[in-house]
Structures are given as structure tokens and as C-alpha cells.
Amino acid sequence: MDDRAEGRARFDELAPEYLTRPDVAVSRMFGSEALSVRGKMFAFAANDGCLVVKLPEDRIAALQLDNMVMRGRPMREWAKVPLADGAERWRSTAAEAYAFVDAITPGSSHA
């Protein structure tokens, strides 16, 4: 299995726990299926097999993750979690991304 297929398989294992939550759906982002809350994306599997998540800049730095780069430009609030980091790191980072986006998205009970 190549990295893209392995990353997609890991994402497919992770997604169901979020899809049972209110306002969470699967949407398309950057040519991949992504998890979103009230229409705002928080995680997707990239073509290189990484999990890409939306987090505050300071958390990306604290977690020692690289930013996703798009058209040569680092995306400020998007980080890549390598496939090699393992399923547990994917789970914990996705949970943090969900909580972040849920809290900043209009309609949140946390706002």
C-alpha cells in the first residue's frame, strides 16, 4: 500500500467517531474528503499520506508540526501530521483540530 492509500485508510478509520457528532460532515477539500464542522474543515488526508489539520499557529509550533504548503506558501493555520507519527498522534491531533474549529465556527455552543 502506498502512502496515499495508507493515509486514506487511516483517515477512514478516524472519521466515523466524528461523524456521530452534531454538525460534522464529510466535505471536499484540496481534492480529498475532509471532516468539517458547520461547513468549516478541520482535518483531511493529503495526497502524500499526511493528516492535515487546522490548528492555531502557536499549537502547530508547540506540537512541532510542519505547516501545509500550498503554491509554495506555508498555510498559517494548517499543519501536517506525518503518517509515520502513528494512529494515536493522528487521533489526538484530529481531536484538537475538531475542538479548535468547533469553538471558532459560528453556531458553536462554545462561542
Q: Is residue 38 part of a domain?
A: yes
pLDDT of residue 28: 81
Residues of the chain with pLDDT under 50: 111
Instruction: Return the closest-CA partner of residue 63 out of 33, 104, 34, 94.
Output: 94
pLDDT of residue 32: 80
pLDDT of residue 30: 67
List the domain range (segments joined by +) for residue 78.
3-104
Q: Is residue 110 part of a domain?
A: no
Q: Is residue 49 part of a domain?
A: yes
pLDDT of residue 23: 95
pLDDT of residue 46: 93
* Cβ-contact 43, 51 below 8 angstroms: yes
User: What is the domain-level CATH number for residue 43?
Assistant: 3.90.1150.30
Q: What pTM, to 2 d.p., does this model score?
A: 0.92
Q: 3-state DSSP call for residue 55?
A: coil
Q: Structurally, how many domains does the chain consist of?
A: 1
What CA–CA distance (Å, rounded) separates 32 from 52? 11
Q: Which amino acid, 46?
A: A
Q: Is residue 111 part of a domain?
A: no
pLDDT of residue 31: 74
pLDDT of residue 110: 52
What CA–CA distance (Å, rounded) separates 46 from 23? 23
pLDDT of residue 27: 87
Q: Is residue 90 part of a domain?
A: yes
* Cβ-contact 100, 54 below 8 angstroms: yes
Q: Is residue 60 part of a domain?
A: yes
